[in-house]
Amino acid sequence: MNNTVDIVKKYLNFRRDVNGILLLNKPKGISSNGFLQKLKIIFCAKKAGYIGTLDPLATGMLPICFGKANKFVSYLTNADKRYRVKAFLGQSTNTFDAEGKITSIKPVIFNKNNLEDVLNLFRGEMDQIPPMFSALKYKGIPLYKYANKGINIYRQPRKISIYSLKLINWSANKLELEIHCSKGTYIRVIINDIGEKLGCGAYVQSLHRLSVAHFSEESMIQFDEIKRIVSENISLLESKTIFYKIDQLLLPYEQLRRNIL
C-alpha cells in the first residue's frame, strides 16, 4: 500500500478539486484516518473526509467524501447502518474487542431459549453508554487516552435504536449477528452487554459494516482495486490522465445531490 502512495507522490505532488464519494471496503489493520490520508494522496484531493469511524479491527463500508460531497456528511453521519459481527463468548476484555486485555473468563452455560430471550432485550430503543476506549473527547482529549491511564470518565447515556438484530450462527463460544442500528451505536458495547446478560461475557472478534444509509455493499470498492489501477497505469501518472480511470470509482456528486439533497 505504501508503495502505491509513494509512486503517486513521486509523479503527482499537487492537489486538485475532486468531487464525489468513494465507498471504500476498509481492510482490517489500519485506522479510518490512515486510509483517508492515503486516498487523499492517491486522488491528489484538496479536500476529503470520511463518515463513521471504523476501528482498525473493523472492516467494511467507509464512505470517503471528496470536495463538494462533504455536504453529505451530516446526512450520512445521521443515517442508519448495518453490521455483521462475530463475537467470542466466555471472556470479556477492557476494550470490548479482541485487541483488548482479558478482564474475566467465565463458563458458557445457556441454551437457545436463553440466548433468544437475551437478544430480544437488545431490540428497539435503548440507552447506551459509550465505551471508555473510544475517540469521543472529554476536555478536548479522546477518552481512550484516559482509559489507557486507568482513568474512568463519566459518559452520558445516549439514545440508540436497534431496528433489527438477527442471529446468524451460534455454536459453543461463537456468536454471529447481523445488526441494523441508528447513528452512534457502538456494536462493541452491544456485544459486551449481551455477554453480561448471558452471564459469560463476550467480546467482538470481527466486525464488518455492510451498509451506510441506502448505499449497499455491492457498491464498495476494494483498496486493492485502486492499487491495481495505479500500478497498471504508471505511464499515465506524469500526464495526469490516470485521473480518468480512478475518478470512475467515485459516485458522481451531481447524481448524489439529486438523490440526497
What residues are annotated to the active site? 55
CA distance linking residue 115 with residue 136, whole number of Å: 31
CA distance linking residue 187 with residue 45, whole number of Å: 32
| Length of the chain measured in residues | 261
Residue 190: which residues within 8 A CB-CB, separation 6 or more? 122, 128, 162, 179
H helix intervals, the chain = 2-11, 32-42, 73-77, 112-120, 143-148, 187-198, 223-232, 243-246, 253-260
Question: Which backbone phi and psi does 182 adopt, to 5 degrees?
Answer: -85, 175
Q: Which residues is 221 bridged to in the sheet?
A: 24
| 235 exposure class (CB count in 10 Å sphere: 0-12, 13-18, 19+) | exposed
CA angle 84-85-88, nearest 5°?
160
